[in-house]
């Protein structure tokens, strides 16, 4: 039994939820998202809440049941509140700046990395003296925010000895001891 799939999703005020031909569309104050639903999973709207149901207890239906419920919940949260990821640049000389949707990263390479970010994402860089630079990514699409954050992190992953690199704020790194004398 899928415990996540059985939970109903509450529909907040100001959110419109439409189902047509197995395509769910969610509109809110921050944007609009669509998701195609496959494998005979049914979605019903009852009294301000959304219920996801599966036709049988087969393994694939159980897996998709919880998946689509989580995806729909993330869509509703995204268009009502939005999603934010924060990345921290740890290292001497590591800098980040942005001009609109263009992110300029200095990560210790011989050249700066210039990254064009999707227009759905709001990019903000914070650089305070004595603190590590922080990149804030905000959008209504959780998958897009996570993909862009992972792409930025992959430019210079944190290394286990000094912890230098791009890491998520609050991420705990597994550290190693250096050479013993």
For residue range 108-154, list pLDDT tens digits in order.
999 999 999 999 999 999 999 999 999 999 999 999 999 999 999 99
Domain with CATH 3.90.930.12 in the chain: 9-81, 83-168
Phi and psi for 58 in degrees, rounded to 5?
A: -70, 160
What is the C-alpha R_g of the chain?
21
**Matching CATH number, 83-168, of 3.40.50.20, 3.40.50.300, 3.90.930.12, 3.30.420.40:** 3.90.930.12
9-81 folds as Outer Surface Protein A; domain 3 (3.90.930)
Q: How far apart are CA 26 and CA 65, in angstroms?
A: 19
Q: How far apart are CA 26 and CA 17, in angstroms?
A: 5
At residue 47, the pLDDT reads 87
Digit-coded pLDDT (tens) for 38-62: 878 999 999 889 999 999 999 999 8
74's enclosing H/E stretch is helix 59-80
Per-residue pLDDT band at 165 (split at 50, 70, 90): very high
pTM of the entire predicted model? 0.90
State the pairing for strand pair 102-106/32-36.
unpaired
């Amino acid at each position: 039994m899928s415990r996540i799939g059985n939970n109903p999703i509450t529909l907040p005020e100001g959110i419109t939820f439409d189902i047509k031909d197995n395509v769910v569309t969610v509109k809110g104050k921050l944007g609009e998202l669509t998701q195609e639903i496959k494998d005979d999973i049914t979605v019903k709207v009852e009294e301000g809440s959304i219920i996801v149901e599966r036709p049988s207890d087969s393994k694939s239906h159980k897996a998709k049941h919880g998946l689509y419920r989580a995806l729909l919940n993330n869509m509703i949260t995204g268009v009502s509140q939005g999603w934010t990821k924060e990345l921290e640049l740890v290292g001497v000389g590591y800098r980040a700046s942005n001009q609109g949707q263009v992110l300029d990263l200095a990560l210790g390479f011989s050249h700066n990395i210039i990254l064009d970010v999707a227009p759905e994402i709001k990019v903000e860089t914070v650089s305070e003296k004595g603190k590590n630079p922080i990149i804030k990514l905000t959008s209504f699409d959780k998958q897009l925010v996570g993909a862009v954050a992972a792409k930025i992190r992959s430019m210079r992953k944190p290394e286990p000895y000094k912890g230098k690199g791009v890491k998520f704020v609050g991420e705990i790194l597994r550290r190693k001891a250096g050479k013993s004398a």
